[in-house]
Structure 1
Amino acid sequence: MNPGSSGSKRYPTALPSLAATLVRIESENPPGNESACAEYVHDWFTHHGIESTLVDEPDPDRQQVGARIGSGRPTLVLNGHLDVVPAGDPDEWTYPPYGGVIEDGRLYGRGSVDMKTAVAIAMLVALNLRADIENGNLDGSIVVHAAMGEETADPGTKSLLDAGFDGDVGVVLEPTQCRVATSEKGMAWYEISWPGEPAHASNPDRGVNPIDHVQPVLARLNDYDASLREQRDSLCGRAYATVTQISAGDGSNKAVLADRTAVTLDRRILPDETIGGVDDEIERIVSELNRDHDIEASWDRAETYSSAEIPIDHSLAEVFRDHSRAIANASTEPWGIRASTDVREFINHADIPAITWGPGSLAQAHTVDEYVDLEEAKDGREILERAARTILSTDSSEFV
């Protein structure tokens, strides 16, 4: 099905069809191609009589969507993101990455599990709850986010919350196999770089090769990682510092010493750590390298996801645990997600209690031949609708 085709099929209300339609709209980030998918989500809401807004902040070329039904409390916010990581070489895929192929009970394609199926579930649950919200059978209200930029820490969800698409509690619909995460690790990417003095490789002694310093830098960062691994959060596991990239002489002639070398450090941050504290650790490491190895290195922090947590026994978490156990036999043991999600924007920025929860396996995210099991997705939709009905019929003081 082509999302641009005419007729009622353009705006399906069957979960497999709607999820496949979203997968077929390429929305890779980088570079940030969310607008076409946002326009479709906005049109879908409009077609079904739900008020929604195309939001231009923080980037008018990368639109996102906020929708709201009702004005009562409590207000439940269902958060999903539209961007997907690049699919890479399509020849590596068994099915076209943007084909939205359904076969043997699975939906294949980039974004199928991370996380367009969950966006489709949020849209359909909102549609199913609309009548009961509008006629007063449910006292509360519901908000849906279709956000931009989650994959690269852009402030899409933050902008939606600031634009008034907020509430009393939130659910970030990342794939957790319907297990409730009340905490998550943070993540920051640090680039540590230092200069060289270019010279022709036929006479290297006339310059300074910055690559010579890679070994002591890596040794110090490996020691840092080893010390971090001794830190453990009971829900999220260990802290890590992993070198993921090394670059030198990019774009230069291969016969010339590089003018600069850089390493990228992926730092996984536990809930009891702060970004400022991690910055201080990196500053100390760089200062030691400069002192001990005469490197003249500097550092910069790029994409940043802060860690976040709410109490394990928060009422929001308990509601979702109960319904997830009853329908999908999901574990109810306290748990924290080791990846980073937009739940931090709810908890840290907007002071809104939120969990990370959704159908599908995180192990499928970002993989070749990414897929979601549609039976799991069906269970997820039922859990979400039942949990939403429970929350929207409960006194809002229970969730604040």
Structure 2
Amino acid sequence: MSRAKHTGKLTTLVGDLVQIETENPPGNEKKCVEYIVKWFDEHGINAELVEEPYTDRPQVGARIGEGDPTLVLNGHIDVVPAGDIDEWTHNPYDAEVEDGYLYGRGSVDMKTGIAIAMLATAELAEEIEAGELSGSVAFHAAIGEETAEPGTKTLLENGYDGDYGVVLEPTEMRTATSEKGLAWYEITVSGDPSHASRPDQGSNAIQYARPVLDALTDYDKTVRTREDDLVGQAYATVTMLEAGTKENVVPEQATITIDRRFLPEESIQDIDTEIDELLNQVADHHDIEVSWERTRTYESAAIDTDSSLAEVFRHHSAKVADVSTDPWGVNASTDVRNFVNDADIEAITWGPGDLSQAHTYDERVELSAANDGLDALLGAAREVLDGDLE
């Protein structure tokens, strides 16, 4: 397929996907899944609705060919909520094109990745069936990535696995061989309620929260001294503080949320221990009641920086655009952890588009970059499927 044909088909496909609202929460992926299955059927490819882990939120899995090696093209179809529509210059679900950009929620994160995976799968299917390529392709349209649900993990467990994986998040086509982990912790500080006209009768949970916040500030300073050459610093950021039920009631509870970004060298078990020991020290020293819960976890993941898969994608990215081929890691968390940690599959995070556009008002993708991404993906995939990796 020529680049000119790519351009029209890709713009249409990204636009169609963006116009199907798939916000998570609550998890409205079903209509988009049905569109993808129908699209594959129209292109002569049998794609399956996978009704795990949730029957009301199916996913898409497809497999083309039976030869080795198998390359898995992975993307998620859920998007974060659009937020205040009045803050958007372009309606988040109109997929408007202006000055070479397509606007809309999910345009970058990551329906462009899904679109280039669909088009690449269809084109590679023709070459596999013609005997031009010896390997095979698996395709994922996963649910629940935005909320750490086991969508990709389930697809891998249901047979849509392989020898190599590409998670098509927007990296501006830089090849990431590692990523930070993410854990959210809710810390509850307990007090005793009373009427605000008699404040000394109760125990104000907000006041009790002060030494906890001070300790978390010091913890963040300590954590920031930890660095990784590819993904940078670790962080422990207080992101939420909730307390009180009414203006004239001394609050009996305050809840502090921290966002803990951790490095591939750190384990979630060790971080749990750090949080537990920190809070126990504060509780003992200030005679307060504190408890905690880890509410969400995206594990960190890493493969060798000089992996053969990474080298192939670096090479083909640099062929079509001015892309750095230096070793690199992504600061965000992606489903690549399910490939590397759960399925022991060599995998990278790679795709067109600027990650800084993700989750923003007027989210947009540059269409020329999307086309470059499709060209690079096809070139790299052909090299992988020829069995040339060592």
TM-score by length of structure 1 reads 0.94
Aligned to 1:82: 77
Aligned to 1:103: 98
Residue 152 of structure 2 corresponds to residue 157 of structure 1: yes
User: Does the 8 Å CA contact 1:183/1:310 hold for their aligned counterparts?
Assistant: yes
Aligned to 1:285: 278
Residue 389 of structure 2 corresponds to residue 372 of structure 1: no
Residue 348 of structure 2 corresponds to residue 351 of structure 1: no
Secondary structure in 2 matching 1:347: helix
User: Does the 8 Å CA contact 1:13/1:124 hold for their aligned counterparts?
Assistant: no
Secondary structure in 2 matching 1:216: helix
Structure 1 stretch displaced more, 212-221 or 233-242: 212-221
Q: How many Å apart are 1:303 and its aligned residue?
A: 1.1
Residue 300 of structure 2 corresponds to residue 307 of structure 1: yes
Secondary structure in 1 matching 2:293: strand
The amino acid across from 1:239 in the alignment is A
Secondary structure in 2 matching 1:375: helix
Residue 107 of structure 2 corresponds to residue 112 of structure 1: yes
Q: What stretches of structure 1 of length at least 5 have no aligned partner?
A: 1-11
Q: Extract structure 1 runs of 4+ deviating beyond 4 A.
A: none
Aligned to 1:385: 378
User: Does the 8 Å CA contact 1:324/1:330 hold for their aligned counterparts?
Assistant: yes
Question: How many correspondences in the alignment?
Answer: 384
User: Does the 8 Å CA contact 2:50/2:58 hold for their aligned counterparts?
Assistant: yes
Residue 313 of structure 2 corresponds to residue 320 of structure 1: yes
Matches for 1:8-157 after TM superposition, within 5 Å: 14-157=9-152
CA distance in 1, matches of 2:67, 2:8: 26
User: Does the 8 Å CA contact 1:45/1:51 hold for their aligned counterparts?
Assistant: yes
Q: What stretches of structure 2 of length at least 5 have no aligned partner?
A: 1-6
Aligned to 1:265: 258
User: Does the 8 Å CA contact 2:92/2:103 hold for their aligned counterparts?
Assistant: yes
User: Does the 8 Å CA contact 2:110/2:168 hold for their aligned counterparts?
Assistant: yes
Q: How many Å apart are 1:101 and its aligned residue?
A: 0.7
Q: How many Å apart are 1:13 and its aligned residue?
A: 7.3
Q: How many Å apart are 1:96 and its aligned residue?
A: 0.4
CA distance in 2, matches of 1:394, 1:348: 24
Secondary structure in 2 matching 1:182: strand
The amino acid across from 2:242 in the alignment is S
Matches for 1:331-346 after TM superposition, within 5 Å: 331-346=324-339
User: Does the 8 Å CA contact 1:67/1:165 hold for their aligned counterparts?
Assistant: yes
CA distance in 2, matches of 1:61, 1:247: 32
Q: How many Å apart are 1:261 and its aligned residue?
A: 0.6
User: Does the 8 Å CA contact 1:23/1:98 hold for their aligned counterparts?
Assistant: yes
User: Does the 8 Å CA contact 2:191/2:208 hold for their aligned counterparts?
Assistant: no
CA distance in 2, matches of 1:257, 1:55: 50
Secondary structure in 2 matching 1:267: strand
CA distance in 2, matches of 1:73, 1:140: 4
C-alpha RMSD of the superposition: 1.1
User: Does the 8 Å CA contact 1:74/1:395 hold for their aligned counterparts?
Assistant: no
User: Does the 8 Å CA contact 1:245/1:263 hold for their aligned counterparts?
Assistant: yes
CA displacement 1:166-200 (0-9 Å, x = unmatched): 00000000000000000000000001112121111
